[in-house]
């Protein structure tokens, strides 16, 4: 068994290390550029309007009560953010910096700016091609717009099924499940200084696993409406909690912020020489890990957020697209940037730590025990929210493949696997992260191809909606969509 696990670890690591560069990275950038041009730089022109829309949603002024759907536009955004604002913001950013150097953050920013147009297109198409189920609920996502939007049906069916299978794998075995519950458990055990290999460590892991499983189960068994209601309250609170802690550290080092930004930009093109060198932290590594960890964090290009936004109650798909693109802005331009600045400003890079430990070191070097507490509870809450969002994504992928009957048994299996994830120890946990990284690439591939094929459609829908007026009801008929 040990030999098999060693082989699986090496095998998944090899694929994970090579699957993103250069193919998926180029496809991500290319798709983002194409959609940016097709929509007339929508992410820059309409960002103020998008922020205004989410402000209305946050204050309860836009519930979409007269529109069809399962959750409010704001709840759809919070459900999508619950899946994206996870341990990728804490561990993923740190890993990108550790392997690719500080310059990885620059490429993460660039990916996010173009990714906002990608996320916009995903939400618009998720709304346009969603279906109403027999039970009155709505299902949308990349599997639906690939299958119904692409005219060459053999390719359309293949891409839809490919995406759904990859999404289900990520939700059960990858970064959407076991990796999150494990990170949550480890962060709490480290916070209370419980040593690995002891009886206390085992029993604490068991109790935390049961606690996480119970908390997640209480929410996901209620379906997307309960997930949306919890996410609406939880996500803004946990982001604010983490934001305040990071801002305090940045203000403590405010005179060095220009230097930190300079290090990030210089390292993006010249490796990590500005910090005295990290072996292998070349420009290629900075791009590869900046892009892949950026996508792991904000999910622009994966197509996952289109599932949540497809369930939103709205009478204008383009308006929901504007709401959706703010998710990438919040996740990467704000939250990931806070983590990166804390790591660079605090001098945590000199500790040699990686993943959550590197971010924790940055907070603890500046704020002591309280800083570590912020990371521990931030990791716990971020992981919890990710579990909620990805359970819904996985069940919708499984529903697409097998039908509605699979939802309840899928939820039970999801809870079982997250409990197992909380109990995992040792180096073989990396297999889970590797599988998640691979499955994310497999999700991105069919989604990005579908978006490129449908980019002309996105351009026409955007132009028509903007001409009618974003605040006015507008939903195209299928004849108009397929012109």
- Express each pLDDT in 108-121 by its tens digit: 999 899 999 999 99
Average pLDDT over residues 138-161: 95
If one counts the domains in the chain, the total is 1
CATH number, residue 404:
1.20.1740.10
Instruction: Give the dihedral sign, CA 250/295/174/210.
Output: positive
Residue 344 lies in a domain: yes
Residue 240: give the domain boundaries: 2-61+77-481
pLDDT of residue 275: 43
Instruction: Give the residue among 3, 40, 78 at the shortest CA–CA distance from 385.
Output: 78
The pLDDT tens digits of the residues spanning 20-57 come to: 878 888 898 899 999 999 999 999 999 999 999 988 87
Q: What is the pLDDT of residue 43?
A: 96
* CA-wise closest residue to 56 among 335, 471, 475: 471
Over residues 325-372, the pLDDT tens digits come to 999 999 999 999 999 999 999 999 888 887 778 898 999 999 998 998
> What pLDDT score does 1 carry?
67
| Mean per-residue pLDDT, 301-319 | 92
Predicted local confidence at residue 267, as pLDDT:
86
- Is 67 inside any structural domain? no
Task: Compute the average pLDDT of residues 176-189.
Answer: 86
pLDDT reported for residue 39: 96
Residue 43 lies in a domain: yes
Tell me the C-alpha distance between 329 and 345, whole Å. 22
pLDDT band of residue 483 (cuts 50, 70, 90) is: low
Query: What share of the chain has pLDDT > 90, as a percent?
Result: 48
Residue 71 domain flag: no
pTM value is: 0.92
Report the pLDDT value the prediction gives residue 353, as an integer from 0 to 100. 83
Flag whether 66 is in a domain: no
Q: Mean pLDDT throughout 467-483?
A: 75
| 205 found inside a domain | yes
CA nearest 474: which of 57, 37, 67, 25?
A: 67
Residue 44 lies in a domain: yes
Q: What is the distance between the alpha carbons of residues 177 and 214, in angstroms, rounded to a whole number?
A: 14
**pLDDT class of 126 with cuts at 50, 70, 90:** very high
101 is a domain residue: yes
Averaged pLDDT score across all residues of the chain: 87
Closest CA to 102 of 362, 431, 327: 362
Mean pLDDT, residues 230-247 taken together: 89
Q: Does residue 294 surpass a pLDDT of 50?
A: yes
Return the pLDDT at 480. 60
């Amino acid at each position: 068994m040990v030999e098999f696990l060693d082989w699986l670890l090496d095998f998944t690591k090899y694929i994970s290390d090579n699957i993103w560069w250069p193919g998926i990275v180029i496809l991500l950038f290319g798709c983002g550029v194409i959609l940016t041009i097709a929509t007339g730089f929508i992410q820059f022109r309409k960002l103020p309007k998008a922020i205004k829309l989410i402000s209305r949603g946050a204050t309860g002024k836009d519930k979409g009560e007269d529109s069809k759907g399962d959750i409010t536009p704001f709840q759809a955004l919070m459900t999508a953010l619950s899946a994206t604002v996870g341990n990728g913001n804490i561990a993923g950013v740190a890993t990108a910096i550790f392997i690719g150097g500080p310059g990885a953050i620059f490429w993460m920013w660039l990916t996010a700016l173009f990714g906002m147009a990608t996320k916009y297109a995903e939400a618009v198409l998720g709304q346009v091609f969603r279906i109403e189920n027999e039970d009155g609920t709505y299902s949308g996502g990349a599997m639906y717009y690939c299958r119904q939007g692409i005219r060459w049906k053999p390719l359309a069916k293949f891409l839809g099924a490919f995406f759904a299978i990859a999404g289900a794998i990520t939700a059960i075995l990858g970064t959407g499940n076991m990796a999150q519950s494990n990170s949550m458990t480890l962060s709490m055990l480290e916070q209370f200084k419980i040593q690995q290999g002891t009886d206390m460590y085992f029993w604490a892991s068991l109790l935390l696993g049961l606690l996480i499983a119970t908390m997640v189960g209480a929410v996901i068994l209620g379906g997307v409406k309960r997930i949306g209601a919890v996410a609406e309250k939880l996500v803004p609170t946990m982001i604010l909690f983490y934001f305040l802690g990071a801002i305090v550290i940045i203000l403590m080092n405010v005179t060095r912020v220009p230097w930190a930004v300079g290090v990030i930009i210089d390292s993006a093109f010249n490796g990590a020489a500005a910090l005295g060198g990290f072996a292998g932290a070349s420009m290629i590594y900075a791009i590869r890990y900046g892009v892949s960890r950026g996508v792991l964090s904000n999910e622009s290009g994966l197509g996952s957020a289109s599932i949540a936004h497809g369930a939103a109650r709205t009478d204008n798909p383009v308006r929901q697209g504007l709401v959706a693109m703010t998710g990438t802005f919040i996740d990467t331009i704000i939250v990931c940037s806070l983590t990166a600045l804390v790591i660079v400003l605090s001098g945590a890079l000199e500790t040699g730590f990686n993943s959550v430990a590197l971010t924790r070191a940055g907070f603890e070097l500046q704020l002591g025990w309280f800083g570590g507490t912020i990371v521990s509870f931030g990791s716990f809450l971020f992981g919890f929210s990710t579990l909620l969002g990805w359970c819904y994504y996985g069940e919708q992928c499984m529903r697409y493949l097998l039908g509605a009957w699979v939802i309840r048994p899928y939820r039970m299996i999801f809870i079982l696997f997250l409990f197992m994830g909380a109990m995992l120890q040792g180096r073989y946990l990396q297999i889970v992260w590797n599988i998640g990284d691979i499955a994310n690439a497999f999700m991105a591939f069919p989604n990005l191809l579908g978006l490129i094929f449908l980019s002309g459609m996105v351009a026409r829908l955007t132009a028509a909606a903007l001409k009618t007026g974003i605040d006015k009801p507008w939903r195209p008929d299928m004849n108009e969509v397929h012109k």
